[in-house]
A and B are shown apart, each in its own frame.
Chain A
Amino acid sequence: MSYVRTLVLSLAALVSLPVLAQQKLVPAQSEIAFVSRQMGVPVEGRFKKFDAEVSFNPAKPDTSKIAFTVDTGSATLGVPETDAELPKATWFNVPKFPQATFQSKAVKGLGGGKFEVAGQLSIKGQVRDVVVPVTLTQSGATTTATGSFTLKRLAFKIGENEWSDTSMVADDVQVRFKLALTGVAKL
């Protein structure tokens, strides 16, 4: 009898394990936007298509893993003429580098729903270490992660040749994100 009980409990434990990995991104409630400056003018764009694989435990943030993929071909500034340029080799070179990725290496809890995610950002074949501050809020079954960080576009070769002039388009690009996740344990 106790044998069976042990077996049942073990099975139950096995079944409950993958719960962490079942965290899902809700794309409709998420957004990734970027703000560049053209001759001092802030111009906002966004990516329409991206996905994430998240295994995040608020109680043990250091065991968390966050992997992100962004379809570079889904970038838009909302202006058809400019959007037609973004996939070209000078900018995102979408045919060669269709996806930008982020892979976390360390997640640190700072308390109060704030975390620091260090990882590698790969865009257009260029890999750079970044540290991204993230704030989590929970409402019902949804956990929303928000944050922003600044990257240097030239480090990722975004805007080459005649477009590498930073007096025309600033090197600093602010990336803002809001990611809605389901399946995250209570903070």
Chain B
Amino acid sequence: MHNTQVPTQRYSGTAITLHWLLGLALVGLFVVGLYMTSLPFSPQRLKLYNWHKWAGVVVLTLSFLRLVWRLTHRPPALPAAVAAAMPRWQHWAHHGTHHALYALFFAVPLLGWAYSSAAGFPIVVFGVLPLPDFVPADKALAELIKPWHKLGAYAMAALVGLHVAAALKHQLIDRDGLLSRMLPGRS
């Protein structure tokens, strides 16, 4: 019986690398975003705002590559035993969370970019590469966009929390080894 078990199919190396790299970057961006907005007017605040924008542009670019990779490299299906053990709502939550996260990977940085443009501060990546404004510089528009960048980031943080909680639940409670599909190193 123990020899008939099929080895769990893992995500590709590229998918694993992008997952952890972007995961760390998104947590970092969220924390810096919370911190920088609390700072008084200072060089430190200006520096963090620009770093936040530059990192956001890098995340947006990598998210695009990640999406292309995911669409061209089908992720491994859930192991049959795990899928069978999951009630219907968990299947729904599993797909819903991933789709919503992908939507937010694009929505949040694009809203940040739009906010920066509307506020009259075009983004110059690493201080050398000016990005085009895709919305006009308009204070009223900036105020309109601002809360959505924040709400999007909070929504993403909540979904990331849910994602992590679910992964830990599979690892520590169900002990079904699902996490090993995404862990770096072992293949």
Q: Which of A79, A84, A163 contacts B43 (CB 8 A)?
A: A163
A85 x B124 contact (CB < 8 A): no
A8 in the interface, Cβ–Cβ < 8 Å? no
Question: A38-B46, A78-B139, A168-B47 in contact; A85/B41 too (CB < 8 A)?
Answer: yes
Interface centre among B43, B50, B120, B130 (most CB of A within 10 A): B43
B121 in the interface, Cβ–Cβ < 8 Å? yes
A39 in the interface, Cβ–Cβ < 8 Å? yes
Question: A81-B41, A82-B41, A162-B42 in contact; A39/B124 too (CB < 8 A)?
Answer: yes
B121 x A41 contact (CB < 8 A): yes
Q: Which of B42, B119, B122 contacts A42 (CB 8 A)?
A: B122
Question: Contact mask B25-48 → A, CB, 8 Å, 1/0?
Answer: 000000000000000011100110
B127 x A40 contact (CB < 8 A): yes
Question: A85-B41, A168-B47 in contact; A40/B128 too (CB < 8 A)?
Answer: yes
A110 in the interface, Cβ–Cβ < 8 Å? no
Q: How far, in angstroms, from A39 to B48 measured CA to CA in the complex?
A: 11
Closest partner residue, chain B, to A45 (CB atom): B120
Which residues 81-135 of B have a CB within 8 angstroms of A? 119-124, 126-128, 130
Q: Which residues of A contact B (CB under 8 A)?
A: 38-44, 77-79, 81-82, 84-85, 162-163, 165, 168
A-B contact pairs, 20 of them (CB 8 A): A38-B50, A38-B121, A39-B47, A39-B124, A40-B124, A40-B126, A40-B127, A41-B50, A41-B121, A41-B122, A41-B123, A41-B127, A78-B120, A79-B120, A82-B41, A162-B42, A163-B43, A165-B43, A168-B46, A168-B47
Q: Which residues of B contact A (CB under 8 A)?
A: 41-43, 46-47, 50, 119-124, 126-128, 130, 139
